[in-house]
Amino acid sequence: MKRLMRLRASQHLRDLCAETEFNRAQLIQPFFVVEGLNQTEPIPGLRGNVRHNIPSALKQIEKDLADGVTQFLLFPVPSMKKDSGFDHQSTRETISQIRKQFGNSLCLWIDTCLCSYTTHGHCAVLDEKGIKLDETLEELARSAVAFAEAGADGISPSDMMDGRVGRIRSALDENGFNLVPVMSYSTKFASNFYGPFRNAADSAPQFGDRRHYQLDVRNRSGAIAASVRCAEEGADLLMVKPGLTSLDLIRPIHERTGLQCGAYQVSGEFGGLSVLADQGLIKFDEALLETWHVFKRAGAQYIITYGARYAKSLGIGR
């Protein structure tokens, strides 16, 4: 008799047949550094994650490195909001202190967007008519160069403005950073699942929403086209976001572009697990691991997750 259950009858057999083995080097840990913060602040919904100042971020990274995390994604949160002419001094300071203390033992990506910098919380420079695209791209390119100068390993644009990857790539190249890669948030949907993040990054739009620049969940071809375009503009790595609501797109994007595509397990997805676990309704660790295996099964090369620092204790090897 055909018995599919036969190969699931022992842990040895299940491990023999597992198709989604991966390692900690493919998990990226986000963290928030808020300029001028006196002490760390909890982030509602994001278990194990807080808003940091520079000294507390350094301590957290030290701990994370000991727990085998090597990939980090910094979200800089400036204290002064402006509408243009953004200042990157505090982010430069964060990056260079991390670099000074930890050298090359970590890989440091910097989220590159304007929503934490602007008074209105949109990811662009605006005027009465809406997005001022050229000024926005200029600001993004300037940020990318500032971050690379301070010692960032990679730039990760999350703004979804048309043309940002091309503009950032040429600015990096012109300034001698031709080896700094761009990990683009290439297929990023307008989503309800960014809620906990927007509190942490102080980046909620003060009016309207982001549907003009972020993708429409109803649209599959547009979602793939956005990643294809980033690839054409010179992105090195692609990404879908939110991860769980974009599983069907990961392989098609990889196949269409030949580039590796990761998944961002966003704050609302991770927060959902945290809240269910807080209510005693699921086992947090097992549920988290389950979602990672699903991202891998769907073809994700890497996973950005607020739980990367738990990977070692979950038994994910090097």
Residues that bind ligand PBG (CB under 6 A): 111, 113, 115, 123, 158-159, 194, 197-198, 203, 210, 266-267
Residue closer to ligand PBG, measured from CB, 231 or 266: 266
CB 74 within 8 A of CB 94: yes
Minimum CB–partner distance for residue 266 and ligand PBG (Å): 4
How far the first Cα of the chain sits from its last, in Å, is 40
Collapsing DSSP to helix, strand or coil, 307 comes out as coil
Q: Does a cis peptide bond (omega within 30 degrees of 0) precede residue 242? A: yes
- Give me the least distance between CB of 100 and ligand PBG, in Å please: 26
**CB closer to ligand PBG out of 33 and 123:** 123
Alpha-carbon distance values, 229 to 163, 191, 235, 263 (Å): 9, 21, 9, 18
**Cβ atoms of residues 142 and 189 within 8 Å:** no
Which DSSP category does 216 fall into? P
In contact, 267 and 197? CB cutoff 8 Å: yes
Bridge partners of 240? 187, 263
Q: How far is the CB of 4 from ligand PBG (least distance, A)?
A: 37
| Least distance (Å) between residue 107 CB and ligand PBG | 18
Nearer to ligand PBG, 49 or 257 (CB): 49
> Of 28 and 148, which CB lies nearer to ligand PBG in the complex structure?
28
How are beta strands 126-127 and 50-52 bridged, if at all? unpaired
Catalytic residue selected from 100, 188, 296, 312:
188
Q: Give yes or no: 100 in active site.
A: no
**Contact predicate 28/302, CB 8 Å:** yes
Within 10 A of 179 (CB to CB), how many other CB atoms are there? Answer: 9
Residue 81 appears among annotated catalytic residues: no
304 touches 75 (CB < 8 A): no
Q: Do 235 and 182 contact (CB within 8 A), yes or no?
A: yes
The catalytic position among 2, 81, 100, 241 is 241
Cα 99 from chain centroid (whole Å): 20
In the complex with ligand PBG, the residue whose CB is nearer, 112 or 301, is 112
**Is the Cβ–Cβ distance between 160 and 236 less than 8 Å?**
no
Q: Which is nearer to ligand PBG, 169 or 210 (CB)?
A: 210
- Report in angstroms how near the CB of residue 192 gets to ligand PBG at its nearest: 10
Encoded amino acid at 41, one letter = E
Least Cβ distance, residue 200 to ligand PBG (angstroms): 8
Which positions are annotated as active-site residues?
Answer: 188, 241
